[in-house]
Protein backbone atom coordinates (compact mmCIF):
# COMPACT_ATOMS: atom_id res chain seq x y z
CA UNK A 1 0.00 0.00 0.00
CA UNK A 2 1.52 3.29 -1.07
CA UNK A 3 0.82 6.53 0.72
CA UNK A 4 0.47 9.78 -1.13
CA UNK A 5 2.47 12.61 0.27
CA UNK A 6 1.24 16.18 0.40
CA UNK A 7 3.44 19.20 -0.27
CA UNK A 8 4.75 19.36 3.33
CA UNK A 9 6.02 15.78 3.26
CA UNK A 10 3.19 14.49 5.46
CA UNK A 11 0.86 11.72 4.34
CA UNK A 12 -2.18 13.08 2.49
CA UNK A 13 -5.68 12.27 3.72
CA UNK A 14 -8.02 10.14 1.69
CA UNK A 15 -10.50 11.85 -0.58
CA UNK A 16 -13.94 11.95 1.00
CA UNK A 17 -16.71 10.34 -0.98
CA UNK A 18 -20.22 11.81 -0.99
CA UNK A 19 -22.75 10.04 1.19
CA UNK A 20 -25.49 10.48 -1.42
CA UNK A 21 -25.25 8.20 -4.42
CA UNK A 22 -24.74 9.93 -7.77
CA UNK A 23 -28.10 8.74 -9.13
CA UNK A 24 -29.88 10.06 -6.04
CA UNK A 25 -28.07 13.38 -6.37
CA UNK A 26 -29.20 13.64 -10.00
CA UNK A 27 -32.79 12.95 -8.93
CA UNK A 28 -32.60 15.66 -6.28
CA UNK A 29 -31.08 18.11 -8.77
CA UNK A 30 -33.81 17.33 -11.32
CA UNK A 31 -36.50 17.98 -8.69
CA UNK A 32 -34.89 21.31 -7.76
CA UNK A 33 -34.72 22.34 -11.42
CA UNK A 34 -38.38 21.37 -11.98
CA UNK A 35 -39.42 23.36 -8.91
CA UNK A 36 -37.44 26.38 -10.08
CA UNK A 37 -38.99 26.12 -13.56
CA UNK A 38 -42.51 26.06 -12.09
CA UNK A 39 -41.68 29.04 -9.87
CA UNK A 40 -40.36 31.06 -12.83
CA UNK A 41 -43.45 30.20 -14.92
CA UNK A 42 -45.76 31.26 -12.07
CA UNK A 43 -43.94 34.57 -11.67
CA UNK A 44 -44.13 35.20 -15.42
CA UNK A 45 -47.91 34.67 -15.28
CA UNK A 46 -48.30 36.89 -12.22
CA UNK A 47 -46.37 39.76 -13.78
CA UNK A 48 -48.01 39.40 -17.26
CA UNK A 49 -44.76 38.43 -19.01
CA UNK A 50 -46.38 35.29 -20.42
CA UNK A 51 -49.45 37.22 -21.55
CA UNK A 52 -47.19 39.77 -23.29
CA UNK A 53 -45.28 36.97 -25.01
CA UNK A 54 -48.59 35.43 -26.19
CA UNK A 55 -49.69 38.89 -27.43
CA UNK A 56 -46.47 39.25 -29.43
CA UNK A 57 -46.91 35.79 -30.94
CA UNK A 58 -50.55 36.44 -31.80
CA UNK A 59 -49.90 39.85 -33.41
CA UNK A 60 -46.58 38.80 -35.04
CA UNK A 61 -44.69 41.74 -33.51
CA UNK A 62 -41.27 42.21 -31.99
CA UNK A 63 -40.98 43.46 -28.42
CA UNK A 64 -40.89 47.27 -28.45
CA UNK A 65 -42.38 50.20 -26.54
CA UNK A 66 -45.06 50.51 -29.24
CA UNK A 67 -45.98 46.82 -28.99
CA UNK A 68 -46.08 47.00 -25.18
CA UNK A 69 -48.39 50.03 -25.36
CA UNK A 70 -50.72 48.02 -27.60
CA UNK A 71 -50.58 45.12 -25.15
CA UNK A 72 -51.42 47.37 -22.18
CA UNK A 73 -54.28 49.02 -24.10
CA UNK A 74 -55.75 45.61 -25.03
CA UNK A 75 -55.27 44.34 -21.48
CA UNK A 76 -57.02 47.35 -19.95
CA UNK A 77 -59.95 47.03 -22.38
CA UNK A 78 -60.37 43.37 -21.44
CA UNK A 79 -60.35 44.22 -17.73
CA UNK A 80 -62.89 47.03 -18.12
CA UNK A 81 -65.36 44.69 -19.88
CA UNK A 82 -65.40 42.21 -17.02
CA UNK A 83 -68.32 42.64 -14.64
CA UNK A 84 -67.30 43.55 -11.12
CA UNK A 85 -68.65 41.62 -8.24
CA UNK A 86 -69.67 43.10 -4.90
39-65, pLDDT tens digit by residue? Answer: 999 999 999 999 999 999 999 999 999
Q: Is 64 a domain residue? A: yes
Q: Is 74 a domain residue? A: yes
Q: Is 38 a domain residue? A: yes
CA dist 61 and 32 (Å) reads 34
Q: Is 14 a domain residue? A: no
Domain containing 46 equals 22-81
Q: Is 3 a domain residue? A: no
Q: Is 69 a domain residue? A: yes
pTM higher than 0.75, yes or no? Answer: no
Question: 68 pLDDT band (50/70/90 cuts)?
Answer: very high
Size of the chain, expressed as the number of residues it contains: 86
pLDDT value at residue 12: 67
Q: How many domains does the chain have?
A: 1
DSSP state of 72: H
Amino acid sequence: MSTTMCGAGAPARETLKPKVAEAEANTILAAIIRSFTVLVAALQEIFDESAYRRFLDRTHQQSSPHAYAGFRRENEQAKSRRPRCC
